[in-house]
Chains A and B, each alone.
Chain A
Amino acid sequence: MTKNEIYPKMSEAIVSGDRAAARALAEEAVRSGLDLLEVVEQGYVPGIQKVGELWEQGEYFLPELITSAEAMKAAMAVLDPELKLKALGSRLGGKVVIGTVEGDIHDIGKNLVASMLQAGGFEVFDLGADVKLERFIDKAEDVGAGLICLSALLTTTMMNQRRFMGLLHEKGLRDKYKVLVGGAPASRKWAEEIGADGYAENAVAAVKLAKSLAGR
């Protein structure tokens, strides 16, 4: 298959959430010696973008979003090792540390954002839920992440997003990281007020924002 034939098929595999097709097409791209960065950016990413649009329009819902993200993961599982071999992985996205802040055990939204970020080409370090604020920093320092994402579903635990910003300042690391906040009670206004770098309304918007902050 030529690029013009295979790229639309890749996109379609993501939009329809066809994991087997997404994986098979990725394997074919590797075998045919295609430029794998281009494969990701022109084959798969347009698919996940289309899924995002369908979600925002209320055509796609959580089940479709999850199956599409899984198809994307299946393709990336084939492409990632190859890209790493060629030392191209780092050009794709960046490293993201994500988790739900301490005191809060809600992780559905956070998991979705983590999957979509991964599908969007980021290397994601998911710390889970009820994560001590210090751990976000330790992990980010450890892996060399550029972005830290904090989720909070409760009006009480969202205060930990504010505390986290204070902690970053105290440690003199504020300028080293971009910080995104999310979760039901968070808002753009809240992000501005606590001095975070951004807020996203949903998983799709989070990926867009992460990309723009990562300069992509």
Chain B
Amino acid sequence: MTHPLLELAKTRTVLFDGALGTELMARGLGPGVPPELWNADRPDAVREVHAAYFEAGADVVSTNSFGATPLKLAAHGLEARAFELNRASARLAREAAPAGRFVAGSMGPTGRFLQPQGPATVVELTAAYAEQARALADGGVDILIVETQYDLREALAALRGAKSVTSLPVFVTLTFNSFPRGCFTIMGDPAGRAAGELEQAGADAVGANCTLTTDRMAGCIRSMRAATALPLIAQANAGQPEAGADGKVGYAQTVEEYVRPVPEILEAGAVFVGGCCGTNPDTIRALARIIRR
């Protein structure tokens, strides 16, 4: 598929943004409030975070819609507002985007386990993702990114759901744990096999995000590189969250520690890089310096 973002990735490393939820919390998002609600209630704050990431050098920002499948919103009794909140998230990111920059519509896990581990069916999940994808496309995103998936079956359902309602490129990232014998999701999907199956199902880029810190990410990306010719995405965490004595939550890694292994991740084959939990505009600024060096 030819798309300006995929074309750009053929010429240089493309930079995604960092964490969104913690940036909204820093602007007053309270505990128990779904961040997506701010697309309606505090649009300025959401736009401001996107603008900060663009200003830090991000080529692409992800919309404030990670938890906005109707299935996930149902936990807050907000499923009836899924379309509205997703479309609003796309519009806010679009409004914050300077010319020539991109908006990725974020689609995170539904939180439901598929049968036989749980009650959910592939049909049900596919429909939920299709509804979210339709709203994000309607709001003007450039691409969709199915993120932080821990079950390859759900990732495939999301991909197929998205492809059923839009012709936009769909990127897919899963989250892996690293073991001596390789990277696996908690459901046991190996990184290489996941990349191969997603490619066959029509993904336009695949990758790994969350859970792993930058020093563990390269191995995971190498496994994917060996299994697919698709462009690869790497969005690592900045350590694990820790609460300080003052009750404020911080992440274990400094920006310097975070970016040090990044050249190895690029060498392993990642063409899209960005941050995940624990990262902020400073992290993205530091990443921008490295990839544009």
Contacts and interface: CB of A to CB of B under 8 A. Distances in A.
B200 interface: no
Interface stretch (A42-50, A135-143, A152-160): A152-160
Interface of B: 22, 25, 30-32, 75, 111, 113, 117, 177, 179-182, 184-188, 240-243, 245, 247, 249
A60 B184 CA distance: 10
A157 B21 CA distance: 14
A193 B117 contact: no
Interface of A: 57-58, 60-64, 66, 103-106, 108, 154-159, 162, 184-185, 187, 189-190, 193
Contact of A61 (B31, B180, B181, B184): B184
Contact of B187 (A63, A158, A193): A63
B38 to A, nearest CB: 15
Contacts of A157: 31-32
30 contacts: A57-B179, A58-B179, A58-B180, A58-B184, A61-B185, A61-B188, A62-B117, A62-B187, A63-B117, A63-B187, A63-B188, A103-B31, A103-B32, A105-B75, A108-B113, A154-B31, A155-B241, A156-B31, A157-B31, A157-B32, A158-B243, A159-B243, A184-B241, A185-B242, A185-B243, A185-B249, A189-B242, A190-B242, A190-B243, A193-B243
B187 A61 contact: yes
A101 B247 CA distance: 17
Given A62-B117, A162-B247, A189-B242, A156 B32 contact: yes
Contacts of A193: 243, 245
B242 A64 contact: no
Nearest to A62: B186
A19 to B, nearest CB: 12
B194 to A, nearest CB: 13
Contacts of A189: 242
Identify the 10 closest CB pairs spanning chains A and B, nearest first.
Answer: A58-B179, A61-B188, A156-B31, A155-B249, A185-B241, A103-B32, A62-B186, A155-B241, A103-B31, A105-B75
A63 B114 CA distance: 10
A40 B30 CA distance: 46
A62 to B, nearest CB: 5
Contacts of A63: 117, 187-188
Given A57-B179, A63-B187, A162-B247, 10 more contacts: A58-B181, A60-B188, A61-B187, A61-B188, A62-B188, A63-B188, A104-B32, A155-B249, A187-B240, A189-B242
Contacts of B75: 105
Contacts of B182: 58
Nearest to B188: A61
Nearest to B249: A155
Contacts of B25: 156
A108 B188 CA distance: 16
B181 A66 contact: no
A139 B185 CA distance: 35
